Each structure stands twice: as C-alpha cells, then as structure tokens.
Structure 1
Amino acid sequence: MSYYYSRTLTIPFDQVVQKITLNLQKQGFGIITTIDLKETLRQKLGIDFRKYKILGACNPQFAYKAVSQDSHLGLMLPCNIVIQEHENNQVEISAINPMATIEESATSYQLKELANDVSNRLRTAIDNLHHDQPMPQHTEALPAEGSAPNYNAPIQG
C-alpha cells in the first residue's frame, strides 16, 4: 500500500490549489496551514525552485476522534496535500494515505475505520479535480449512508 495518493493534471497550478481547497471543504476539511516551498527556498536559500505548495488539511471531528483514541496520532496531523508543478506545466497533486500508517499500528477497529474514511475523502477530493461538475462519489470512497460511523456528527459532551 502506497503512503500517498496522486494525480497529474494539465490545468494551471493556481487553479489546482483553488479547486482542491473547495473539494476538501466538500469532504469536511479546512486548510489550516499553507507552505509555499518555492517562496521559502527563494527567501532562505536563494534557490529558484518549481511551484510547490504543501497544504495542511484538517477535519476537527476526525482529529478529535483520532487523538482521543491514540494521543500520538497528532504526529500525523494535519493531513498533508502537496501540489507541485512539473515539466510541460503538468501539475501533480498528492495526498497522504493515512491507511498506510494506521493499518499496521491501529489499536482499534474504530481507528482503522476512521483512517479509511479520511483516506477515501482525500482521494475523492483529488479525483474530482479534473471535472467541471462533481462526479458521483466512488462507492468505495465514501461509505453509504448508515453503513459506517458518522464522524461528522456533533461531539456530545
């Protein structure tokens, strides 16, 4: 199992950043950090690097449930999304696959289900980038209504 999920697109870099931000919001995530690696390397090292941004995506409900079950899971938060421009103006977008790490170390079934849900939502956000209209959700990407725990339900308490 790969530690990331990736797609290569032929749309402008800034458009990919805007679209992934919207797609992540549709999947319940907000962007809490943005690192412009191109600008950082230019300022700190005087290096002219390709366009490369790292977005830190977080769903507070998922984060709360994860660190409530295992306090060390904060090491994997937020979920990183990398947008990088390659030759010929191709733009690659990648997201971390929490299942690659969680599957081996998870201490509970609920934690594995949570990691699977996060992985699938990140994948769906990326898969919908190249469509002008949102595609129907992958049946394997998001659980059918009532078939999995509702991690977006308000926290009681």
Structure 2
Amino acid sequence: MSIALATTLKTSFDDAVARTREALSAQGFGVLTEIDVKATLKNKLDADMENYLILGACNPPLAHRAITANRQIGLLLPCNVVVRSDPDDPESTLVEAMNPQLLVDVTDEPELQPIAEEVAEKLKAAIEALGN
C-alpha cells in the first residue's frame, strides 16, 4: 500500500498550491495548518531545498466521526497534503495526500474503515480535479 495519493502537475508551485486549496475546499476540506518546510529549514538550519508546503486538511464531519470511533486518532489528524516542487523537474509540482487507509492500518480499528474510505474518496476526487 502506498502512503500517498499523488499527482504531478506541469505548473508553477504557487499555482499548484492555489489549485490544491480549491480542490480540497470543493471536497469539504479546510486547511487548518500550513507549514512552509523550505522557509523553516532555511531559518533554523540555513539549509536550502525546493518549495515544500504541508497543508493540514480537515473535513470536520469526517474528523468528528473518526475521533468518535477512536479518541487517539487525533494523533494522525489532520490529513496532510504536501505540495512540493519536483527536485528532478523544475517545471513540475507534486501534490501528495496522505492515504487514509493508514488510519485503519495503524489503529487496527474496524470502525475507521468506512470513514477512511470516504476520506480517500474525497481526497482522490480533489487530486483528480487538479489534473483538469
């Protein structure tokens, strides 16, 4: 099983970020957190790297269902979506979302299976919308 649902876009990083936010929103996800890994590593370690942004996406009804099924699931929320420049192709941007099946596999909680399937369906729809 892959840990990510992913696509590659032939577009700029900024355009990919904007399109990713729109696609997530269309599927009922809000972005609760944003971590600019490139800026953080530059500021803290003076290390250079390509654009790399982690968006913490949350669909409140689905998050509520997951937390109701297993209170510890909050350790694995929100769903991380990474938008990053492809270090091997400067004209490409990668968008990768966490595979929600990990929530079920890590917890071995059968109640999470239908929730993970619904989250996966919505994240896949968002990723697929980026290609259009």
Query: Which amino acid counterpart does residue 122 of structure 2 have in structure 1?
Result: R
In the alignment, the residues of structure 2 paired with residue 78 and residue 100 of structure 1 have an alpha-carbon distance, to the nearest angstrom, of 13
- The structure with more helix, counted as a fraction of residues: 2
Query: Which amino acid counterpart does residue 7 of structure 1 have in structure 2?
Result: T
Q: Which runs of structure 1 show a deviation greater than 4 angstroms over 4 or more consecutive aligned residues?
A: none
In the alignment, the residues of structure 2 paired with residue 82 and residue 103 of structure 1 have an alpha-carbon distance, to the nearest angstrom, of 21
What count of residue pairs does the alignment treat as equivalent?
A: 129
In the alignment, the residues of structure 2 paired with residue 8 and residue 22 of structure 1 have an alpha-carbon distance, to the nearest angstrom, of 17
Q: Indicate whether 1:113 and 2:104 are aligned.
A: no
In the alignment, the residues of structure 1 paired with residue 62 and residue 28 of structure 2 have an alpha-carbon distance, to the nearest angstrom, of 9
Q: CA deviation at 1:130?
A: 2.1
Q: 1:65-104, aligned counterparts within 5 Å?
A: 65-86=65-86, 87-103=89-105
**Identity among equivalent pairs (%):** 37
- Deviations, residues 70-126 of structure 1 (Å, cap 9, x unaligned): 111111100000111012321111000111341561232xx2111100011111101
Of structures 1 and 2, the larger Rg is shown by: 1
Q: Give structure 1 stretches of 5+ with no counterpart.
A: 132-157
Q: Give structure 2 stretches of 5+ with no counterpart.
A: none
Higher RCO structure, 1 or 2 (CA under 8 Å, sep 6+): 2
SS of the aligned residue for 1:89 comes to coil
In the alignment, the residues of structure 2 paired with residue 114 and residue 107 of structure 1 have an alpha-carbon distance, to the nearest angstrom, of 10
TM-score normalised to structure 2 length: 0.92
TM-score normalised to structure 1 length: 0.78
RMSD: 1.2
Q: 1:1-157, aligned counterparts within 5 Å?
A: 1-86=1-86, 87-103=89-105, 105-108=108-111, 111-131=112-132
SS of the aligned residue for 1:127 comes to helix
